[in-house]
Amino acid sequence: MPVLGLLGLPWSGVTSTLRCLCGSSVAADAGQGVAEVRDPRLADLARVSSSQRVVAATLEVADLTRLVRGAKRGEGLGNELLAHMRTTDALLLVVRCFEDDQVAHPEGRVDPVDDAETVELELVFADQAVVERRLLRLAKTAKSGDAAAIAERELLERLAEALEQGRPARSFDESLPESLDLLTAKPALYVANVDESGNAEGVGRLREFGAQRGIETIALDAKLEAEIAELDSDDRQAFLDDLGIARPALDLVSLAAYAALDLIPFFTSGEKETRAWTIRRGQSAQEAAGKIHTDIARGFIRAEVIECAKLVEAGGEAEAKRRGWLRVEGRDYVVKDGDVLNVRFNV
């Protein structure tokens, strides 16, 4: 299961964001939980298939505790925190956009862009240390004339220069060794933690800052959304209706995080169950079958494929077939976002 790391400065709302994403699945002592990827297509599929239950795709979310200035030098929990961050697949960077006299800001003011810059610079500093250590290890091999070592050294020297300029690794336009596992190369998403005022000006500045770095920003009232997440489905909908909210913002966060990881869902749907399965964009039908069960991938014969929207429009599989919307695809077919698959296999 992909792992999202929640990170922010003290009093930014990281814990509230964890609670609203994961609801009752949060393990209080461990600071982690499981977030559903609330894809609205699932309910439509379940309706046309008369499914007995619906199973959403999930993401693991971990509270990485608070980042402080100087984390890269090992202050406080710095080294432990940075090591934990490297085990995640993407970072959700929680930025305070709310005013509250009862909740002190570590810098004595609320400035979303300055906070985002602080977090980014600490991550850049951490990556600089990784690159410097790698260059030291390469030095001896490169001196011996090893062509691969020389090429990597030159690449890392260019990367080190970019990091020195404060540029995150994700903005570097050359392919980097995966073994570097740089923090600023990980997919990231800004969560602008607002209050009921919305702080449109602060969120707008953060959104512009993030856009310049290829990072999406989603505004979220974490305190309110955490309360919504703890309600049962009927009460939740009534509460949303009373507030005039069409859809909880946390749904947008989970979907955006899913997209940032370059993940897509495909669906299986029938009377017993409608379920979303997670694959990497570009994976084949046989690889998708393996997500359901390894035996299905091993004995793969063919996949019957219907686009989710087409199946819903038809009102069911029989009518979709009658309209010619069901396709038969082989093992190398590249599965698309929202495909509904029925895999035929023999083992």
Domain containing residue 339: CATH number: 3.10.20.30
* pLDDT more than 70, % of the chain: 88
pLDDT at 251: 77
pLDDT at 213: 87
Average pLDDT over the chain, rounded to an integer? 85
Name the residue among 98, 68, 57, 79 with its Cα closest to residue 7: 68
Task: With respect to residue 325, please indicate whether it lies within any of the assigned structural domains.
Answer: yes
Q: Cβ neighbours of residue 211 under 8 Å, at least 6 residues apart? A: 217
Residue 26 pLDDT greater than 90, yes or no: no
Task: With respect to residue 306, please indicate whether it lies within any of the assigned structural domains.
Answer: yes
Which 3 state secondary structure label does DSSP give 152?
Answer: helix
Work out the average pLDDT over 41-55: 93
Residue 168 pLDDT greater than 60, yes or no: yes
Instruction: Quote the domain boundaries for residue 307.
Output: 282-345
Burial class (CB in 10 A: 0-12, 13-18, 19+), 77: middle
pLDDT at 177: 84
| C-alpha span between 252 and 191 (Å, rounded) | 10
Task: With respect to residue 286, please indicate whether it lies within any of the assigned structural domains.
Answer: yes
Number of domains in the chain: 1
- Residue 65: pLDDT band (50, 70, 90) is low
- pLDDT, one tens digit per residue, over 117-141 is 988 888 898 889 889 988 988 887 7
| C-alpha span between 218 and 220 (Å, rounded) | 6
185 vs 230, more confident: 185
* Region of poorest pLDDT, from 110-114, 158-162, 229-233: 229-233
Q: How far is CA 221 from the centre of its chain?
A: 19
CB atoms within 10 A of CB 30: 9
- Strand ranges (DSSP E) for 32-73? 32-37, 53-55, 57-66
Task: With respect to residue 187, please indicate whether it lies within any of the assigned structural domains.
Answer: no
| C-alpha span between 339 and 304 (Å, rounded) | 10
Task: With respect to residue 310, please indicate whether it lies within any of the assigned structural domains.
Answer: yes
Task: With respect to residue 32, please indicate whether it lies within any of the assigned structural domains.
Answer: no
Task: With respect to residue 300, please indicate whether it lies within any of the assigned structural domains.
Answer: yes
- Residue 307: pLDDT band (50, 70, 90) is very high
In which residue are the tokens 């990072």 written? 215
pLDDT at 70: 53
342 vs 145, more confident: 342
Element holding 96 (H helix, E strand) = strand 90-96
Work out the average pLDDT over 319-331: 94
301 vs 180, more confident: 301
* Region of poorest pLDDT, from 197-206, 218-227, 328-337: 218-227
Task: With respect to residue 296, please indicate whether it lies within any of the assigned structural domains.
Answer: yes
Residue 333 pLDDT greater than 90, yes or no: yes
- Residue 72: pLDDT band (50, 70, 90) is very low
Name the residue among 192, 166, 167, 184 with its Cα closest to residue 111: 192
| C-alpha span between 234 and 157 (Å, rounded) | 57
Work out the average pLDDT over 267-283: 94
Name the residue among 239, 236, 185, 209 with its Cα closest to residue 112: 209
Q: How far is CA 276 from the centre of its chain?
A: 16
Give the chain's largest Cα–Cα span.
71
pLDDT at 290: 94
pLDDT at 71: 47
Residue 45 pLDDT greater than 80, yes or no: yes
Q: How far is CA 292 from the centre of its chain?
A: 22
Residue 279 pLDDT greater than 90, yes or no: yes
Residue 27 pLDDT greater than 80, yes or no: no
Predicted TM-score (pTM) of this structure:
0.81
271 vs 250, more confident: 271
